[in-house]
């Protein structure tokens, strides 16, 4: 499976341009993490792919089919292949865990079957298997409103996986979770990508989680891609471009006649700034917070 996004633009009725010609391709079983400050366009990009938000311009091709040109019936069929995991879970709280997971099969049953919540035995069996895989094997009859945040997120993952998608889109999966649960969720997503040989595209604020679990990092700033590469290349200069829109610090690439001096020095030049995973470090060593969650 290959997703090719070319020249993607999104302009809201207010005139705000959330995406400015974004080009991104993903495929294989790669886990790609999209990072950037609030308002960079990360959530907009994810939502444009399955047209929960309508793009203004550009193409979104899933295995050669341009999703932007599909009518309602075509889009409904295409969405079978796109699993979506939401920041706020998007579950029906009065329903059971099993009933919520099986909503991932609604694209495959008739309107009458959906109304009656009647699913083929194979779908039910698959749902049991996936609940076991995400660690909720004994909780199929529990109502969702009785679950913790981490458990709800795992229900959301199970619902997406039961679709048997060819790609998983994940919007801020760890924003309301504690650190231990966040690691569990990220580990689960990357394992599912490898086991099912599908790509996973994750919009995430936590840079440390992105670099630990993703195979590739895409950095957005002000609606444009300013970094695209492996986690090992996400050095201070790259973080500065992503979160401040600046050029790489001079200390990242010292002139040849200063190489000897740089070998015996530590840190950036006097008066300079550098970006860190926790924010921007100022010359006096203080750290300013990075913008919190939220997208246009």
What angle, 0 to 180 degrees and rounded to 10, lies between the N-to-C axes of helices 121-133 and 149-162? 140
Q: Which letter does DSSP use for residue 199 in this model?
A: -
Structure tokens at 11: 């302009």
**pLDDT tens, position by position, for the chain (296 residues)?**
799 999 999 999 999 999 999 999 999 999 999 999 999 999 999 999 999 999 999 999 999 999 999 999 999 999 999 999 988 888 999 999 999 999 998 887 777 777 777 888 999 999 999 999 999 988 999 999 999 999 999 999 999 999 999 999 999 999 888 999 999 999 999 998 899 999 999 999 999 999 999 999 999 999 999 999 999 999 999 999 999 987 654 544 444 444 444 444 444 433 444 444 444 444 344 444 444 444 44
Q: Which of 270, 203, 281, 238 is nearest to 18 (CA)?
A: 203
As a whole number of Å, the CA-based R_g of the chain is 21
Structure tokens at 25: 């391709």
Q: Which letter does DSSP use for residue 214 in this model?
A: -
Q: What pLDDT is recorded for position 248?
A: 52
On whether the CB atoms of residues 117 and 103 are closer than 8 A, the answer is no
DSSP output for 72-91: HHHHHHHGGGEEEE-TT---
Handedness of CA 132, 137, 142, 145 (dihedral sign): negative
Q: What pLDDT is recorded for position 108?
A: 77
Q: What pLDDT is recorded for position 278?
A: 43
The residues with which 229 forms a beta bridge, in sequence order, are 217
In the sheet that holds 65-66, the strands lie side by side as 17-27, 2-11, 57-62, 65-66
Q: What pLDDT is recorded for position 273?
A: 42
Q: What pLDDT is recorded for position 247?
A: 65
Q: What pLDDT is recorded for position 133?
A: 92
Structure tokens at 99: 């009933």
Can you list the positions of beta strands (E) in the chain?
Answer: 2-11, 17-27, 31-35, 57-62, 65-66, 82-85, 167-171, 200-203, 216-221, 224-229, 274-276, 279-281, 287-288
Give CATH 3.40.50.300 domain extents, the chain.
2-96+147-154+162-233
CA pair distance 162, 46, nearest whole angstrom: 20
The architecture that CATH gives domain 2-96+147-154+162-233 is 3-Layer(aba) Sandwich (3.40)
């Amino acid at each position: 499976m290959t997703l090719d996004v070319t020249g993607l633009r999104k302009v809201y009725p207010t005139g705000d341009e959330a995406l400015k010609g974004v080009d991104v391709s993903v495929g294989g079983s790669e886990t790609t993490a999209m990072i950037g400050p609030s308002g960079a366009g990360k959530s907009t990009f994810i939502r444009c792919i399955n047209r929960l938000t309508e793009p203004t311009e550009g193409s979104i091709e899933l295995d050669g089919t341009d999703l932007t040109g599909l009518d309602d019936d075509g889009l409904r069929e295409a969405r079978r292949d796109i699993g979506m995991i939401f920041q706020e879970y998007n579950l029906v709280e009065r329903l059971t865990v099993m009933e919520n997971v099986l909503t991932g099969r609604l694209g495959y049953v008739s309107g009458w079957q959906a109304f009656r919540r009647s699913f083929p035995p194979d779908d039910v069996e698959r749902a049991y298997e996936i609940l076991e895989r995400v660690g909720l094997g004994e909780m199929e009859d529990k109502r969702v409103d009785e679950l913790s945040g981490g458990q709800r997120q795992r229900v959301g993952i199970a619902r997406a996986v039961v679709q048997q998608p060819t790609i998983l889109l994940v919007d801020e999966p760890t924003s309301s979770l504690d650190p231990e649960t966040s690691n569990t969720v990220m580990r689960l997503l990357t394992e599912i990508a490898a086991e099912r040989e599908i790509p996973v595209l994750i919009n995430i604020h936590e840079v440390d989680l992105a670099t630990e679990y993703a195979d590739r990092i895409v950095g957005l700033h002000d609606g444009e891609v300013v970094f695209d590469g492996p986690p090992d290349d996400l050095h201070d200069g790259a973080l500065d471009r992503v979160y401040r829109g600046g050029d790489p610090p001079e200390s990242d690439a010292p002139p040849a006649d200063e190489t000897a001096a740089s070998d015996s020095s530590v840190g950036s030049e006097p008066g300079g700034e550098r970006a860190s995973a926790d924010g921007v470090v100022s010359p006096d060593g203080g750290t300013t917070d990075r913008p919190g969650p939220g997208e246009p």
